[in-house]
Amino acid sequence: MVPLNWYMWLGAVVFSVGMFGFLTRRNVIIMFLSIELMLNGVNISLVALSHYMQDLRGQVLTLFIIAVAAAEAAIGLAIVIAMFRNRQTVHVDEIKEMKG
Amino acid sequence: MKYYLLIPFLPLAGFLLNILLGRRLFRSQAHWPSTLAVFGSLVVAVMVLMDVLHGKTLNHDLYRWIISDKFQVSVGFLIDQLTAVMLIVVTSVSFLVHVYSIGYMHDDPGYYRFFAYLSLFTFSMLMLVMANNFLQLYFGWEAVGLCSYLLIGFWYEKKSASDAGKKAFIVNRFGDFGFGLGVIMIFLTLGTLHYIPVFDKINTLTGQTINILGLHVNLVTLIALLLFCGAVGKSAQIPLHVWLPDAMEGPTPVSALIHAATMVTAGVFMVARCNPIFNLSHTAMNVVAVVGGVTALFAATIALVQNDIKRVIAYSTISQLGYMFLACGVGAYGAGIFHLYTHAYFKALLFLCAGSVMHAMAGELDMQKMGGLKKYMPVTYWTMLIASLSISGIPGLAGFFSKDEILFRAYASGGVGRFVWVLGTAAAILTAFYSFRLIFVTFHGEFRGTEEQRHHLHESPKVMTVPLVLLCIGAVAAGWVGVPPLLGGSEHFAHFLEPVVGLPHAKEVSHAEEWMTMGISVAVALAGILIAAVFYLKNPAIPRRLAERFPFLYRLLWNKYYVDELYDYIVVRPALGIANNIIVKFTDGAIIEGIVNGVPAFIGWLGAQMRKVQDGVVEHYASIMAVGIFVLLAIGMIFLI
Amino acid sequence: MNMPDLQPLMPEIVFLGLALFVLLAELFIKSKETIGLMVIVSVAATAYMIPQSFGVTFSGMFISDGYSSFFKFIFLLNLILTILISIQYIQIERAEFGEYYTVLMFSTLGMMIMASAGDLIVLYLGLELMALSTYILAGFIRHDARSTESALKYFLLGAFSSAILLYGIMLLYGLTGTTDIMKLSSLLMKNGMRLQSIFAIVMVMVAFGFKIALVPFHMWAPDVYEGAPTSITAFMSVGPKAAGFAVIGRVFLTGLEGFSADWRLLLVVLSIATMAVGNIIAIQQHNLKRMLAYSSIAHAGYAVLGVIAGNTEGLSATMNYLLIYAFMNIGAFSVLVLLRNEQERIETLEQIKGLARNHPFASALMLIFMFSLTGIPPTAGFVGKFFLFRALVYSGYTWLAVVAVVFSAISAYFYLRVVMYMYMYEPEEGVTQDISTAAPLGLALLITSLMVIAIGIYPEPFVNFARLVVG
């Protein structure tokens, strides 16, 4: 059987890749995808933990995370569209009217 | 007795109404809210007095603002015999002064402001006398000081008025500093600021000393003297009396209310209230008695030669306050409060009469330019005459009973009491003299002013003379509640106050001695009046010749013993000199300004740098968050594992 | 299987039902005042149910107790005041889309669930419900680039912080095998993996710190507060912040009690940074909304002090502070709403020059709120700070209280500058300074200013109430 550690490392790596993407990419859509990656890193770890501890809570939380992520996606895309209508851009380094 | 709350809060409501709406809504009707409010307070105060006469007293914490262990900031009321007397004095005089001001202040551009301040003052004064703890006393103490400052400088466009306001404020700071220290000492040693527990526990401090710069000072004496410091400032005793004569720059009703009848007596009230503390320290008592006695005589001598009508009365006030302290100092707190109460009426009356004269003379203050006013303003003349008879101590009038009581108690207490009795008796002859000098010079003889002024002479309107007549009743009859047993009375007043201030512990004094002291005080009063009559009615040349004969003495008195000049040399000039030369040029310029301007400039610069981080780009924000996470993790790993 | 006890959940269920009803009603009722009134009635009904709902249900996942009730009252109060200041404002901003009120209610529902969460899963769901609704509200003025920009920033960073929270929750779950907040501490201790435990605590703290805008997780706040509709800024600066404190109190003070030395150290660092950054950058701000945003950051720094004190006294001081903060901060924003008219936004210091000349009442109200935010007696702000600092001193952090007082003194500079601009300058040419006259707004101002003064003058019942619900 695959040891728990491997899953945990996989989850951590996916989370980190997502975090790295979020910090480095300029495109809102890509940043948003990076967040999904972070969430999925958490999901992998949760499901693995849940399985190893024979406890359902982790999987329940995973399901909730997926559901919330869907809602988040809907709202996020709506905001991006509204933004695009106002500014004709999806690059965050061009969206900086308010600062200081 | 819950309705007692109305007493302070009605004037507060009057103040709020006037300050918020006065300028737009009430304008020339601004006297209504304030006057009605203080009349309401007067009515309730009478009801409270009735309750107290039936033996109902009350000590009640209305609410607690902040509690931090033993330290409580609370508003509470103590209503006992002493408070009841003060309530009657404050509300009745305040009400009459309000009414009087309607006539006196009419057409003043700051009409609503004046009544707002009067109400605020009345509220503060009532909070002061009704307090059941030292902190609230202190609050009221400072608040009446503030109102006094505002009202002295009421005509702030006049430089002398605003200067006088500042002077009053600064001189009082000296006294209040001591008072504040005293309150802090009480809290530090006894752990509470409420009167009742403080007075219960104060005798546990007897014999304890505190080390100040190597000197072992008796703790109770120290506390008592620190408290007395505040009283010296507020009640204008030597050496902090200099502010009160200058305070006459304020409108005359203010002088009558604040600088004669109520605020300046707060010091006497406080000493009487704290009698359990003072009783424990002979030293402090003697200091109080001597300061009072010396002030009584000292101020009376200055009043002899002044020509400014209001200043004469101001020095007279200082002198009479001295009597009250003298009484407290010999343990006769009841007599002190008795004098406070009678003095409130006749002194307020004197001031209001002076105001009436000024009103007729278009603001003229110099007595030498008056004269013969008797026939132009009869009501003012007769009421002022009665007030002068009362203050001189003519038998049957209010001033006689209270002053005689004080002098007798001083004599009876022996020791230092005998000494201050001599001072007081000497001051009594001077009192009669300067009071009647004022009457004779102002109202008798020929008019010495300009034709224009003569044309303007008139009796004041009803709204001003009616308060005069009412106060006159007080100046006559206020003393009848304290007729001594010797004259067939039973000293109701002293017995009424006994539960609070106790009875003075007198040595055995024979009836003969009692008759003697009374006889002496009556004799000196008559003598003073007589001398004044000789000097100013029969032979007006005598005073001038005396002045020429004793030029040094005359100049000394005329210049008020040069106390102001002395302070100018030893306090004001060095302070200004240090301020101008050292602080402004060196400390302020280099150090303080460096700090005061430098620190905000630095913080501003820091802010300007820091806000650059906030550059509006989401990614950078996220990066900073990530850095934050790693910093927290690093802290966690270094310090916590 | 038995039907679970729904009694503790009743306020939330009723509130949800009413929110859905309002959503439907908005299709038919055009008058915004009516909708606003319906929301207020819903709030009243919910508030009435809260005291009767005490209990624990879903095997400890949902807790209704005095602590949660106190916060729920803050949330509902926040909602009412926001509704009152919104009704006319969103019409002026041309953003009177129907869902505005419902989304506000959903957001409040999320906060209520957070306050009652006894389990990390419930906590996460409540937090997301609150956050997602707030993202929408921040961008509610769709045609305004600044509003959408603030929504975008809030959304991206909020989602990022959620991911971090989830990672923390995952770690806690992995270390303890449970998501029950009450059991975390003992199970973590038993497990003994200290490094991982600290790691998890940091992750959770970061996410909560984001919600209450602790430095350095505050970066979103100034931009979002400035860009969002002013009514929503008022809402956001109180509600989500209080909700963040509710979960911090629950998770750290009860759940992670055994690690109090650890999280205290971290919070001390964060709170000092927060007070410093919030107060210092605020000095540089000339836009009032942005100034209030930094002020709100600084106030979170003060409020955390009560959590650091770490006992009943401290926690109740924090709760009390949040209640007071709700009044004074919404009050200050209400004055800004008052100054918004059809022609222009009055948002900068230059625009309020000489305001006292033309609008003495608006200026006097602003003065009260600025005094209170500075913490000058006898306003509520002083009382709040006093009890916070007192709790801090009693738990041995005197030096931290001194630091807080110093920063509080710095804050006087920018709060009183507002007063100075209103009272000491002549009005500038060309600034109209017409003010709104909407009755509900007036009511909100009346409530907030009266409460700021009332709590300042008579704090005892409020303080005791907070103590009572904690102890």
Reported as a single tens digit per residue, the pLDDT across C101-130 is: 999 999 999 999 999 999 999 999 999 999
**What is the Rg, in whole angstroms, of the alpha carbon atoms belonging to chain A?**
17
Closest among B240, B406, B237 to B318, alpha carbons compared: B237
Closest among C412, C285, C384 to C327, alpha carbons compared: C384
- Listing DSSP states for B355-388 in one string gives HHHHHHTTT--BGGG---GGGT-HHHHHHHHHHH
pLDDT of residue C432: 62
Give tens-digit pLDDT for C137-162: 999 998 899 999 999 999 999 999 99
CA distance C381 to C326: 11
Lowest-confidence range among C14-18, C194-198, C325-329? Answer: C194-198
Chain C residues in contact with A63 (beta carbon < 8 A): none
CB contact under 8 A, B616 and A26: no
Chain B residues in contact with A96 (beta carbon < 8 A): 615-617
Relative orientation angle of helices C230-248 and C194-211, to the nearest 10 degrees: 160
Contact B220, B295 (CB under 8 A): no
Closest among B140, B128, B132, B127 to B76, alpha carbons compared: B132
CA distances from B523 to B45, B402, B516 (A): 38, 16, 10
- CA atoms B504, B509, B511, B514: torsion sign: negative
B67 DSSP 8-state letter: E
pLDDT-derived band of residue C430, with 50, 70 and 90 as boundaries? low
Closest among C452, C454, C146 to C329, alpha carbons compared: C452
- Residue among B596, B614, B638 with most chain C CBs within 10 A, to mutate: B614
- CA atoms B210, B212, B214, B215: torsion sign: negative
SS3 content of chain C, % helix, strand, coil (to 5): 80, 0, 20
Q: Is A30 on the interface with B (CB under 8 A)?
A: no
Q: Which residues pair with B366 in a beta bridge?
A: B308
CA distance C403 to C393: 12
Lowest-confidence range among A87-96, B152-161, C17-26? Answer: B152-161
**Token couple for B357:** 């004269």
CA distance B139 to B124: 8
Nearest chain C residue to A31 by CA: give it. C156
pLDDT of residue C215: 87
Most trustworthy range by pLDDT among B28-37, B403-412, C290-299, C335-344 = C290-299
CA distance C228 to C221: 10
Distance from CA of A67 to the nearest CA of B (A): 24
**Burial class for B239, CB neighbours closer than 10 Å (0-12, 13-18, 19+):** middle
Contact B321, B264 (CB under 8 A): yes
Relative orientation angle of helices C439-457 and C360-374, to the nearest 10 degrees: 40
Of A42, A61, A68, the CB nearest to C179: A61
CA distance B213 to B457: 63
User: pLDDT: is A36 or B487 the higher one?
Assistant: A36
Q: Is B626 on the interface with A (CB under 8 A)?
A: yes
pLDDT of residue B591: 67
- CA atoms B411, B417, B418, B422: torsion sign: negative
Chain A residues in contact with B623 (beta carbon < 8 A): 23
Residue A65 domain flag: yes
For residues C308-321, average pLDDT: 92
**Token couple for A5:** 């550690």
Q: Which of C294-320 are b and which e, b meaning 16 or more Cβ less than 10 Å from the residue's Cβ?
A: bbbbbbbbbbbbbbbbbbebbbbbbbb
Contact B236, B171 (CB under 8 A): no
- Residue among A27, A87, A93, A97 with most chain B CBs within 10 A, to mutate: A93
Residues in chain C: 471
Q: Furthest-apart CA pair in chain A: how many Å?
A: 54
Residue A59 domain flag: yes
* Pairing relationship of beta strands C62-64 and C55-57 according to DSSP bridges: antiparallel
B459 DSSP 8-state letter: P
- Residue among C119, C142, C170, C285 with most chain A CBs within 10 A, to mutate: C170
Helical spans, DSSP H, in C177-287 = 184-191, 194-211, 220-227, 230-248, 260-283
pLDDT of residue C433: 62
- For tokens 């930094």, what's the residue? C294
pLDDT of residue A8: 93
Residue A15 domain flag: no
Residue A76 domain flag: yes
Residue A97 domain flag: no
Contact B291, B315 (CB under 8 A): no
Closest among C427, C362, C438, C360 to B24, alpha carbons compared: C360
Distance from CA of A1 to the nearest CA of C (A): 19
Contact C470, C317 (CB under 8 A): no
Contact B217, B210 (CB under 8 A): yes
Q: Which residues pair with B209 in a beta bridge?
A: B218
Q: If DSSP codes are grouped into helix, strand and coil, which group holds residue C97?
A: coil
CA distance C397 to B46: 53
Chain C residues in contact with A82 (beta carbon < 8 A): 139, 142, 148, 151
Nearest chain C residue to B67 by CA: give it. C460
Q: What is the ipTM of this complex?
A: 0.97
Distance from CA of A97 to the nearest CA of C (A): 7
Residue A32 domain flag: yes
pLDDT of residue C310: 87
**Token couple for B471:** 């106060």
Count other Cβ atoms within 10 Å, centred on residue B42: 21
Helical spans, DSSP H, in C29-139 = 32-49, 66-92, 99-116, 120-138
Q: Furthest-apart CA pair in chain B: how many Å?
A: 103
Q: Would you say residue C267 has pLDDT above 90?
A: yes
What does pLDDT average to over chain C?
90
Helix (H) or strand (E) holding B599: helix B593-613
Count other Cβ atoms within 10 Å, centred on residue B263: 26
CA distance C138 to C152: 9
pLDDT-derived band of residue C244, with 50, 70 and 90 as boundaries? very high
CA distance B265 to B234: 8
Q: Is A29 on the interface with C (CB under 8 A)?
A: no
Contact B421, B410 (CB under 8 A): yes
Residue A19 domain flag: no
CB contact under 8 A, A97 and C145: yes
Q: Which of B108-136 are b and which e, b meaning 16 or more Cβ less than 10 Å from the residue's Cβ?
A: eebbbbbbbbbbbbbbbbbbbbbbbbbbb
User: pLDDT: is B374 or C241 the higher one?
Assistant: C241
CA distance C199 to C260: 14
B265 DSSP 8-state letter: G
Residue stretches of chain B with pLDDT short of 70: 1, 23-24, 68-70, 505-508, 582-596
CA B599 vs. chain centroid, Å, equals 42
- Does the bond joining B504 to the residue before it have cis omega, within 30 degrees of 0? no
Residue A72 domain flag: yes
* Pairing relationship of beta strands B209-212 and B71-79 according to DSSP bridges: unpaired
Contact C66, C206 (CB under 8 A): no
- Could you give the number of structural domains in chain A? 1
Closest among C347, C188, C205, C335 to C270, alpha carbons compared: C205
**Token couple for A16:** 């980190």
**What's A80's domain CATH number?**
1.10.287.3510
Q: Which domain holds residue A77?
A: 27-92
CB contact under 8 A, C145 and A32: no
Which B residues, 587 through 616, put their C-beta within 8 Å of a C-beta on chain A? 611-612, 614-616
Q: Would you say residue C278 has pLDDT above 80?
A: yes
**Token couple for C361:** 């009442």
- Does the bond joining C216 to the residue before it have cis omega, within 30 degrees of 0? yes
Interface of B with C (CB under 8 A): 63-68, 600, 603-604, 606-608, 610-611, 614, 616, 618, 620-622, 624-625, 627-629, 631-633, 635-637, 639-641
pTM over 0.80, yes/no: no
Count other Cβ atoms within 10 Å, centred on residue B515: 11
Residues 6+ apart with CB under 8 A from B613: B620, B624
- Does the bond joining B8 to the residue before it have cis omega, within 30 degrees of 0? no
Q: If DSSP codes are grouped into helix, strand and coil, which group holds residue A95?
A: coil
What does pLDDT average to over chain A?
93
